[in-house]
Structure 1
Amino acid sequence: MLKEFKEFAMKGNLVDIAVAFVMGAAFNKVVTSFTAGIVSPLIGMIFNSDFNDLKYVITPGTANEAGEVTGEIAVLYGAFLTSLIDFIIVAFVMFMIIKGINRMKKKEEPAPAAPAGPTQEELLIQIRDLLKK
Structure 2
Amino acid sequence: MSEKKKEGVLAGFKAFLMRGNVVDLAVAVVIGAAFTNIVNSVVKGIISPLVGAIGTKSLDGYTSCLKGPCGIDAKGDAIGVNILWGSVLNAALTFLITAAVVYFLMVLPMSKYLARMEQRRRAKEGVQETMEITELVVLKEIRDELIAQRGQNGQGGQGGYGGQGGQGGQYGHPGSGY
Any unmatched runs of 5+ in structure 1?
119-131
The number of equivalent residue pairs is 123
What is the alpha-carbon distance in structure 1 between the residues aligned to residue 71 and residue 101 of structure 2? 43
Q: Which residue of 2 aligns with 1:113?
A: 129
SS at match of 1:80: helix
After superposition, give the CA deviation of every residue in 1:21-54 in whole Å (9 maximum; x if it has no partner).
1111111111111111111111111134531111
Give the Å deviation of 1:101.
2.4
SS in 1 for 2:66: strand
State the Cα distance separating 1:102 from its structure 2 match.
3.0
> Which residue in the other structure is 1:9 paired with?
17
* Contact 2:70-2:82 within 8 A present in 1 as well: no
CA distance in 2, matches of 1:61, 1:2: 61
Structure 2, gaps ≥5 residues long: 1-8, 138-157, 160-178
RMSD of Structure 2 on Structure 1 (CA): 2.9
Does 1:93 pair with 2:109?
no
Q: Which has the larger radius of gyration?
A: 2
Query: Where does residue 147 of structure 2 map in the other structure?
Result: none
What TM-score does the superposition give when structure 2 sets the normalisation length? 0.57
**65 and 79 in structure 1: CA distance in 2 versus 1, 3 angstrom threshold:** closer
Distance 1:67 1:77 in 2: 22
2:74 is matched with 66
Larger RCO (CA within 8 A; separation ≥ 6):
1
**What residue is the counterpart of 2:29 in the other structure?**
21
**Residue in structure 1 matched with residue 3 of structure 2 by the alignment:** none
Stretch deviating more after TM superposition (101-110 or 38-47): 101-110
Identity of aligned residues (%): 29
